[in-house]
Structure 1
Amino acid sequence: MASGFSYTGGPSRCFAYWQEFAKCYAKTDSPSECRPQSEDYLECLHHTQEKARAKAVKAQFIKRAEHEAKEGRKAGDILADGVIVGVGLIKKESGEGKEGK
């Protein structure tokens, strides 16, 4: 895609990055000075950093979902044992009085 034309005939998505890199490369005596422009162009082409970031986010999401599922299983096990889990909204004294009436 360094030709500057995309499939639709307009400039390709990375052509601006290619121009910056080519301009830097033509001006400098040391190609290592153009490393940032080269990295920007390669990231635009291959999306390596974006993919790594998405993979890290997905891994964290899965880890969090597994943790929440584990906590849910603990509450499910307590309920399966027949123990009533209270959330503290109703006091025991007022609850016992209403049941007797």
Structure 2
Amino acid sequence: MASGYGNNGGRSRCYPFWQEVLGCYVVNSGEGESGKKKCVPALEDYHECLHHRKEALRTMKMQAAYRKAEAAHPRENAPKAEQIRSLGLLGKEEEAANVLAQR
């Protein structure tokens, strides 16, 4: 986690955030509980780097908004259910017979 080594041997992607948290704790350690509160933003950044929860939430909200906007404005010339089911093949037996006769 905070060892500083990534999967490939180098520094991990979140190590700079962990260093920032440690530095904040060292600087504010003498202030007691109020010192810890000063480090909350740095700790949140570190946890976001590890888990990407805020980014995932933002992505889900954007996708929901896109779906809502798409549902509010349906496509022009969208095919109807009957057209999709038939794929334009039903009712064209004569054309199919002509194509088969040419072979």
Shorter-chain TM band: 0.5 to 0.7
Q: Report the number of matched residues.
A: 75
Give the AA of the match of 2:14.
Answer: C
Distance change (3 Å), C-alpha of 1:6 and 1:76:
closer
Task: Please report how far the alpha carbon of residue 68 of structure 1 lies from its aligned counterpart in structure 2 after TM superposition.
Answer: 1.8
- Deviating 4+ runs (over 3 angstroms): none
**CA displacement, residues 7-44 of structure 1 (integer Å, 9 cap, x when unaligned):** 10011110000000001111113211111101110111
Aligned match of 1:87:
none
Structure 2: runs of 5 or more not aligned:
81-103
CA distance in structure 2 between the partners assigned to 1:76 and 1:2 by the alignment: 55
Distance 2:26 2:2 in 1: 16
What TM-score does the superposition give when structure 1 sets the normalisation length? 0.66
Give how far 1:50 is off.
Answer: 0.5
Paired residue for 2:23? Answer: 23
More relative contact order in 1 or in 2 (CA 8 Å, sep 6+)?
A: 2
Q: State the shift of 1:72 in Å.
A: 4.3
Q: Deviations over 1:26-84 (max 9, x none)?
A: 11132111111011101111111111110110001100111122x748x989xxxxxxx
Query: Structure 2 vs 1, CA of residues 76 and 11 (structure 1 numbering), >3 Å: closer, same or farther?
Result: closer
Q: Distance in 1 between matches of 2:79 and 2:44?
A: 50
2:48 is aligned to 43
Match of 2:3 in 1: 3
Structure 2 length-normalised TM: 0.65
Q: Which runs of 5+ in 1 are unaligned?
A: 78-101
> Aligned to 2:58, which of 45, 53, 56?
53
